[in-house]
């Protein structure tokens, strides 16, 4: 899986290409699909980082070994 920064850079390039509007419909759809995939990857990484920060905050900033369970799909984004 690409790193967060790499995904974000690729997403920015995709947006630039789509905004130009000089692509065929097929090319635009392919780029859009790639963008959705990259966006999902970025979201998963951000949610994992958020979970790790919550664990640290819960323990008063002290590192304490604790299994990290991934964020479930039913969790609201604006929490």
Render pLDDT for 1-26 as a digit per residue (tens, 0 to 9): 568 899 999 999 999 999 999 999 99
34 occurs within a structural domain: yes
Q: In 37-64, which positions are buried (b, 16+ CB within 10 angstroms) versus exposed (e)?
A: ebeebbeebeeeeeeeeebeeeeeeeee
72 occurs within a structural domain: no
Whole domain around residue 53: which residue ranges?
A: 4-58
Please give the structure tokens belonging to residue 19.
């905004």
65 occurs within a structural domain: no
Q: What is the pLDDT of residue 64?
A: 63
Domain tally, the chain: 1
Round to whole Å and give the CA distance between 2 and 42. 9
Tell which wins on pLDDT, 78 or 8: 8
Provide the whole-model pTM: 0.62
Distances (CA, A) of 49 to 25, 33, 44, 56, 68: 36, 25, 9, 11, 10
């Amino acid at each position: 899986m690409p790193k967060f920064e790499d995904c974000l850079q690729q997403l920015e390039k995709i947006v630039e290409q789509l905004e130009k509007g000089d692509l065929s419909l097929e090319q635009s759809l392919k780029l859009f699909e790639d963008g959705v995939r990259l966006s999902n990857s970025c979201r998963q990484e951000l949610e994992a980082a958020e979970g790790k920060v919550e664990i640290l905050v819960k323990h008063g900033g002290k590192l304490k070994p604790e299994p990290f369970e991934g964020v479930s799909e039913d969790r609201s984004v604006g929490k």
